[in-house]
């Protein structure tokens, strides 16, 4: 079996032993594999400079988002610190600052157009509640779930 494959299997085991999520397992192992494929060097020769080159490649050539760069960085740090048990100068591996964006705000006319296009009175009331109370979509889903639960309890 290839040394790279063995390391990725060891990384997988390290993630599982720590009880990290399935999503973390998939993302970290995929990102580590992509990093190792990019470097195409023996593991014992990889260092901070290789990591910096790879992250720079992601930023400037692949044009990925800061969150994606940070995800790769976290996976590579885990690979080196936990799986390979190697100490790195983490100050040489900076994290990207996430850009803050303002949410898109609908005009009053756009909001009324959405509400008025709804013909079901229940759905119209829900839209009006969400808009007037400033609910997030997930809060509306929770509210709807509560209503449905109460209805089913009354029927029983």
CB 72 within 8 A of CB 92: no
Helix (H, G, I), strand (E, B) or coil at 10: helix
pTM: 0.66
- The yes-or-no verdict on residue 97 having pLDDT over 90 is no
pLDDT over 70, % of the chain: 94
Q: What's the confidence (pLDDT) of residue 156? A: 56
Which residue ranges does the chain devote to CATH 1.10.150.130?
Answer: 3-92
Rounded CA gap, 152 and 84, in Å? 54
CATH class label, 3-92: mainly alpha
């Amino acid at each position: 079996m290839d040394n790279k494959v063995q390391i990725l299997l060891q990384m997988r085991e390290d993630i599982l032993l720590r009880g990290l999520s399935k999503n973390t397992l998939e993302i970290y192992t995929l990102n580590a594999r992509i990093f190792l494929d990019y470097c195409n060097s023996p593991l014992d020769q990889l260092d901070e400079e290789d990591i910096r080159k790879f992250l720079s490649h992601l930023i400037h050539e692949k044009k990925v988002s800061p969150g994606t760069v940070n995800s790769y960085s976290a996976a590579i740090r885990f690979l080196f610190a936990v799986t390979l048990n190697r100490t790195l100068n983490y100050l040489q591996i900076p994290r990207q600052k996430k850009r803050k964006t303002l949410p898109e705000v609908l005009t009053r006319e756009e909001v009324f157009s959405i509400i008025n296009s709804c013909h079901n009175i229940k759905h119209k009331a829900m839209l009006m509640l969400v808009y007037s109370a400033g609910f997030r979509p997930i809060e509306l889903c929770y509210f709807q779930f509560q209503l449905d639960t109460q209805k089913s309890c009354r029927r029983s």
